[in-house]
A and B are shown apart, each in its own frame.
Chain A
């Protein structure tokens, strides 16, 4: 019935654990909407942004695998990547859907969320506006990129043919939107010149955020491909990854050089060797997130092994998480004595969103041609 796909269901323990976590997440999410932010989170005037915002500004560049994959498969038309494109784009879409869900939970006046979509209210100087509009549109673009899954499943030939022509255009729109919001996430923090620590604040923030989204996207492709190749028995998909790993290494090197050069040009290089937690945080981020994976990916013997690829990708993703947590939380100046540790509800809601995403992924993999040979946004 389903062309080119095997029906493969995830183990029962996955369904049970994911369902319990997802149900808990949904419950505490609803509780937060009904009870308000103060009653359910540990946020305060000193810490207006917490775990949820860090979760969002991390998950957006993590999900960038979808747009880098679209660039490789649809624009540069590298056919060998078409087979791994769908699992990655599906993961990317679920990442963005999770971001939107958490963003909604985080809005103190959530019943009015739709007002941000009303052009009469738009403040075009606000990067919060640009980010919100771009991720809303991009989530729709990802849905379109995934729609051939449905046309194929339902054998709707005409829709399939239509998408063959629209594929590259949709991918192109998605890539432009991604470049915009990935850089705008960095631009959000341009206003914080006086409060964001000098090791992270820079007029180059938009460029740094865009560049790190691209290499994190490549790392996410590696990560998702290794995991799904194992879970769904497509070992041949891993063969493409050493090439991606090499490209990731080059981008990491460029990023590291730019970060250091920027500190020197701004005369802030001394902060790298300053006392206190900030310089330590900076070095852990650079070493774990850039230097270690750069070395791993530079060694042909390492990048040709599945373990080497996986560990390299995990390091890049950890480095990304540290960077976004520093910019969004740790490295912002606070009133003396202020403290923040996320509440259990903040943790459970964030993990619950990930569990829901995992369930949707497993269901889609079971019933839709996710692992068929055709590319996203394109049908045979």
Chain B
């Protein structure tokens, strides 16, 4: 099995909230906190308005996750199959992951005294037991489908083709910030559903390059410059002292 993935078809979602409920039951999330939640958007103007709904603002499980790159203590990590999971026992609560995520998905249960990061874990425990995630397992219209990323990607393209121009010709998540495990297709423009327009390059690339190359470089350059300055200063002082003693002896 390659990359675990979920394809979300906005055109098929009927807004029944089965996934919202299944997720909440399975993960026992705190009051007011959802790891996936159906949102409804009205498109068009009366009398041609039509509501569209989809489970939005959920973790995209990036190929190059900014959250995991940001976390100082490795509380967020990416499994080989692509799930980004969270370990509250390591987390110190700095919330850098929340600020760094280009999709703004990690949340905090602010009402707890000791809060923890709240985000979809792709039901990693269910996957380990050969079950599909809770949300996809209950979707009555197959608006959510679980599978291997490559095959879901071709499925997504096929559905766009079959729609005969009804669907936007774009699989959101195929290339965004280097690609994500969640893939969306939609008959409505993605911006209208609250999706950000993002570049294709991973956001982690530059930061990690600077961490690996820049940090030792800065330390090295600073140390060499300081040692040089110190040496020059000492030499000059010694020179001054020497010329002074020569003058004195003359």
Contacts and interface: CB of A to CB of B under 8 A. Distances in A.
B73 A176 contact: no
Interface string B88-110: 11111111101110101001111
Interface in B221-240: 222-223, 226-227, 229-230, 233-234, 237
B10 interface: no
B211 A191 contact: no
Contacts of A37: 108, 110, 115
Candidate in B73, B89, B109 with the most chain A CB atoms within 10 angstroms: B73
B69 A191 contact: yes
A176 B113 contact: no
A108 B73 CA distance: 14
Contacts of A123: 68-69, 71-74
Contacts, number: 179
A265 interface: no
Contacts of A127: 70, 207, 211
A76 B203 contact: no
Interface stretch (B139-147, B164-172, B184-192, B212-220): B212-220
Interface string B61-75: 000001011111110
Interface in A19-51: 34-39, 43-46, 48-49
B70 A36 contact: no
Nearest to B102: A194
B204 A36 contact: no
A144 interface: no
A52 to B, nearest CB: 11
A172 B100 contact: no
Contact of A109 (B66, B91, B100): B91
Interface of A: 34-39, 43-46, 48-49, 71, 75-77, 106-113, 115-116, 118, 121-130, 132, 168, 172, 175-176, 179-180, 183-184, 187-188, 190-195, 203, 206, 210, 332-333, 335
B84 interface: no
Interface of B: 66, 68-74, 88-96, 98-100, 102, 104, 107-116, 177, 196, 198-199, 203-204, 206-208, 210-212, 214-215, 218-219, 222-223, 226-227, 229-230, 233-234, 237
B112 A36 contact: yes
Given A76-B233, A109-B92, A116 B73 contact: yes
A131 B208 CA distance: 15
Most buried by A among B111, B198, B210, B229: B210
A123 B92 CA distance: 13
A44 B211 CA distance: 29
